[in-house]
């Protein structure tokens, strides 16, 4: 829930979520649509889906107690599985986050493309070496704290640093150059032309198999095309991660005749039931603009 937001913003969602699903078994038995409803407003809906899927695995097999099994759970990547394995089970595995990457890159003088697999693996070896001790949980925490409080991105507090004498970046004078900068992800411009099929006050929704944003979620039929430049005509814009979406609504007039043959995964829904299917704010923006 804390992805790209603050604890303060998340707390009401967190408390409501736990009230609804007090433990892993309750979550595993819920309907996915109910889980998504409790997540509505937080964005990153694939996380809610992964959490839900992971709860079903855990309810069946129990909670894994090591990194190799933790990382098999839906939604758990190297960071989360290593953090849990070391903090909860004392496994000697290092944790890489932005802060520990900065500290390790500088103290060992590593000019690595840490966002690529080879660079990441090399850094992981260093982190694992640090964690190969009696207290891997605290070492992992310490590496992250070093980056968060002393080895800052700008103006690192080298005079307060316990590693000042051994720091390679300091010795060679390239602190500011490390870690290497990850190239920015290109913003993609898209024109999305959703078709709002209306019939007796209901709207047709389908599973999204054609647009790269909100993939596999309940969506409107239509077309999405990547653009070199922003289109001239559109109704509104919306941004999802690196997709800048120009939305041009198309509302075909249908007088009673059923001109649309829905695919297998399709529903006619009342606009006030949208949240049961899609909590995405992009969908809400479209539905708010249609006259039923």
Give me the half-sphere count of Cα atoms (radius 13 Å) on the Cβ side of residue 165: 1
Strand order in the sheet with 222-227: 222-227, 188-194, 243-247, 236-240
Do 87 and 137 touch, CB atoms closer than 8 A? yes
Report CA torsion sign: 152, 156, 159, 165: positive
Is residue 83 part of the contact set for ligand SF4 (CB under 6 A)?
no
Distances (CA, A) of 70 to 75, 84, 85, 96: 10, 8, 8, 16
* Candidate list 170, 197, 238, 243; residue touching ligand SF4; CB under 6 A: 170
Nearest of 261, 275, 276, 252 to residue 196 by alpha carbon:
252
* Candidate list 51, 95, 107, 143; residue touching ligand SF4; CB under 6 A: 107
Report CA torsion sign: 195, 196, 197, 203: positive
Q: Is the CB of 164 or the CB of 266 nearer to ligand SF4?
A: 164
Number of residues that bind ligand SF4 (CB under 6 A): 15
- Respond yes or no on whether the N-terminal peptide bond of residue 179 is cis (omega within 30° of 0): yes
Residue 40 CB partners (closer than 8 Å, separation 6+): 275, 279
Is residue 127 part of the contact set for ligand SF4 (CB under 6 A)?
no
Is residue 151 part of the contact set for ligand SF4 (CB under 6 A)?
yes
Q: In which element (H, E) is residue 268 found? A: strand 266-269
Is residue 101 part of the contact set for ligand SF4 (CB under 6 A)?
no
* Candidate list 42, 95, 175, 249; residue touching ligand SF4; CB under 6 A: 175
Is residue 106 part of the contact set for ligand SF4 (CB under 6 A)?
yes
- The least CB distance from residue 153 to ligand SF4, in Å, is 10
User: Contact region for ligand SF4 (CB under 6 A) — 41-49, 126-134, 150-158, 204-212?
Assistant: 150-158
Report CA torsion sign: 42, 45, 48, 54: negative
Q: Is the CB of 167 or the CB of 283 nearer to ligand SF4?
A: 167
* Candidate list 48, 161, 211, 249; residue touching ligand SF4; CB under 6 A: 161
Do 106 and 168 touch, CB atoms closer than 8 A? yes
* Candidate list 13, 14, 89, 163; residue touching ligand SF4; CB under 6 A: 163
Is residue 103 part of the contact set for ligand SF4 (CB under 6 A)?
yes
Distance CA 72, CA 64 (A): 9
Q: Is the CB of 64 or the CB of 156 nearer to ligand SF4?
A: 156
- The least CB distance from residue 246 to ligand SF4, in Å, is 44
Is residue 10 part of the contact set for ligand SF4 (CB under 6 A)?
no
Is residue 30 part of the contact set for ligand SF4 (CB under 6 A)?
no
Q: Is the CB of 95 or the CB of 150 nearer to ligand SF4?
A: 150
Q: Interface with ligand SF4 by CB under 6 A: which residues?
A: 103, 106-107, 150-151, 156-158, 161, 163-164, 167, 169-170, 175
């Amino acid at each position: 829930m804390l992805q790209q937001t603050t604890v303060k913003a998340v707390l009401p969602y967190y408390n409501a979520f736990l009230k609804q699903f007090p433990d892993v078994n309750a979550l595993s038995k819920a309907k996915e649509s109910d889980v998504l409803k409790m997540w509505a407003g937080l964005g990153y809906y694939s996380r809610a889906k992964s959490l839900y899927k992971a709860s079903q695995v855990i309810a069946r097999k129990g909670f894994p107690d090591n990194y190799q099994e933790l990382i098999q759970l839906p939604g758990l990547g190297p960071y989360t599985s290593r953090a849990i394995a070391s903090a909860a089970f004392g496994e000697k595995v290092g944790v890489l986050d932005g802060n520990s990457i900065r500290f390790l890159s500088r103290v060992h003088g590593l000019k690595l493309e840490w966002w690529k697999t080879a660079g990441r693996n090399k850094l992981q070896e260093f982190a694992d070496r640090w964690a190969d001790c009696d207290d891997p949980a605290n070492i992992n925490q310490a590496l992250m704290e070093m980056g968060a409080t002393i080895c800052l991105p700008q103006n690192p507090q080298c005079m307060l640093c316990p590693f000042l004498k051994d720091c390679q970046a300091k010795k060679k004078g390239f602190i500011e150059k490390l870690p290497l900068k990850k190239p920015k992800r290109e913003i993609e411009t898209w024109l999305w032309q959703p078709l709002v099929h209306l019939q007796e006050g209901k709207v047709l929704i389908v599973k999204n198999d054609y647009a790269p944003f909100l993939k596999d979620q309940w969506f409107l039929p239509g077309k999405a095309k990547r653009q070199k430049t922003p289109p001239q005509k559109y109704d509104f814009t919306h941004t999802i991660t690196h997709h800048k979406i120009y939305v041009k609504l198309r509302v075909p007039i249908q007088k009673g005749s059923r001109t649309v043959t829905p695919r297998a995964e399709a529903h006619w829904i009342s606009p006030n039931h949208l949240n049961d299917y899609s909590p995405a704010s992009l969908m809400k923006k479209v539905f708010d603009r249609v006259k039923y």
